[in-house]
Amino acid sequence: MHAYPSQQHHASFTPEPPALNGVVAMGVAGALITGAVTAATAIRDAKTHPEKTGQVASRVGKEALGGGLAWAAGAAVARTFFRSNVIGILAMVAVSTGVKYAYDGILTPKAEPYAEPATDGAEAAEHKAGSSKTK
C-alpha cells in the first residue's frame, strides 16, 4: 500500500496532548505573576525592615513555586472537566485557591495562638469602662 507524504509525516509524529501544554503554560504564567507580585512586596518590606533583606530571594522563590503549582492544578481541573466556560473559570479559581492554601500550610510554621497581654487590675477596669461607654 502506498502512503502519501502527508500521511507518512503524521505517522511518525506524536504530539503532546494539548491539555498538557495549556497546564504547563498556566503554571509558568502563575509562577511569573506570583513571583513578580511577591518580589515587589518583599523589596518594599526589605527597605523598611533591613533585617529581612536576606529573605527576599527565598520568599520570592517559595511563593512563585506555590503560585505556579496552584495555577497549573486549577488549569488542569478546568481543562479536564469544564473546558472554556464560566464554570471552568470558577473551578480554576477554587482549585488554585485550595492548592495555594494547602501549599502555604505546609511551608508556614504553626503560629502561636493569640493571647491577651497581661494587665494589672486598674488597666483592665479602665479598658472595660472605656469600652462600655462607646457601646
- Is 2 contained in some domain? no
- Is 115 contained in some domain? no
- Is 48 contained in some domain? yes
- Is 124 contained in some domain? no
- Mark out the alpha helices in 1-135 (DSSP H runs): 5-12, 18-48, 56-77, 86-107, 121-134
**35: containing domain:** 17-108
- Is 28 contained in some domain? yes
pLDDT digit string (tens) for 71-101? Answer: 999 998 888 887 668 888 899 999 999 999 9
- Do the Cβ atoms of 71 and 30 come closer than 8 Å? yes
Domain count for the chain, please give it: 1
Contacts of residue 45, Cβ cutoff 8 Å, sequence gap at least 6: 52
Alpha-carbon distance of 13 to 38, in angstroms, equals 41
- Please identify which residue in the block is written with the cell numbers 520568599: 59
pLDDT digit string (tens) for 55-71? Answer: 888 899 999 999 999 99
Q: Residue 69: what pLDDT?
A: 96
- Is 50 contained in some domain? yes
- pLDDT bin (cut points 50, 70, 90) of residue 2 is low
